[in-house]
């Protein structure tokens, strides 16, 4: 399957994977956790943690593999893309539970003091999008 982009027919899976990789980078930069106490607010992005840094690197890997796939490189792009997407999604999900517990504990002491940030949700979705792009690349074209 292909999609027309700027007059070129590009593999749909590569485009989807590249978009997912870009979303992973955006999510890693945005807030994963926010704490607000007496009018003061502090947020921490994914890049302030090792899992967030790994997610950002995996986003770059997904984009690089998608570009290689578009350029016709002879490498197992789809399997690498699926692996990168799986790492992004799994790290996002694991951090959701870790941060969720911290947020729950903080809110038990002071209701409404903490929240999970949008960046973490974007990263989880990005991992799924990257995996979907890789799977699209493995599908055989309809006859």
* Concatenated DSSP letters of 81-107: HHHHHHHHHHHHHHHHHHHHHHHHHHH
Is residue 115 pLDDT above 60, yes or no?
yes
Domain ranges of the chain: 10-35+44-138
Is residue 130 pLDDT above 80, yes or no?
yes
Average model confidence (pLDDT) for the chain? 89
- pLDDT, tens digit (0-9, with 9 covering 90-100), for 50-76: 999 999 999 999 999 999 988 887 667
3-state SS string over 19-83?
HHHHHHHHHHHCEEEEEEECCEEEEEEHHHCHHHHHHHHHHHHHHHHHHHHHCCCCCCHHHHHHH
Considering Cα of 10, then 13, then 18, then 22, what sign does the dihedral take? positive
Residue 75 confidence (pLDDT): 67
Q: Which one, of 63, 117, 69, 67, lies nearest residue 85 by Cα? A: 63
128-143 mean pLDDT: 83
Global pTM reads: 0.88
């Amino acid at each position: 399957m292909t999609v027309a982009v700027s007059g070129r027919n590009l593999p749909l899976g590569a485009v989807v994977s590249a978009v997912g990789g870009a979303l992973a980078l955006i999510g890693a930069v945005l807030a994963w956790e926010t704490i607000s106490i007496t009018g003061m607010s502090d947020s921490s992005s994914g890049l302030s943690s090792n899992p967030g840094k790994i997610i950002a690197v995996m986003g770059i890997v997904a984009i690089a593999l998608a570009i290689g796939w578009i350029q016709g490189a002879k490498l197992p792009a789809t399997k690498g893309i699926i692996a990168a997407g799986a790492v992004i999604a799994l790290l996002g999900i694991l951090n959701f539970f870790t941060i969720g517990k911290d947020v729950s504990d903080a809110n038990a002491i002071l209701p409404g003091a903490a929240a999970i940030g949008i960046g973490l949700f974007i990263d989880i979705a990005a991992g799924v999008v990257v995996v979907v792009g890789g799977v699209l690349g493995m599908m055989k074209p309809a006859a």
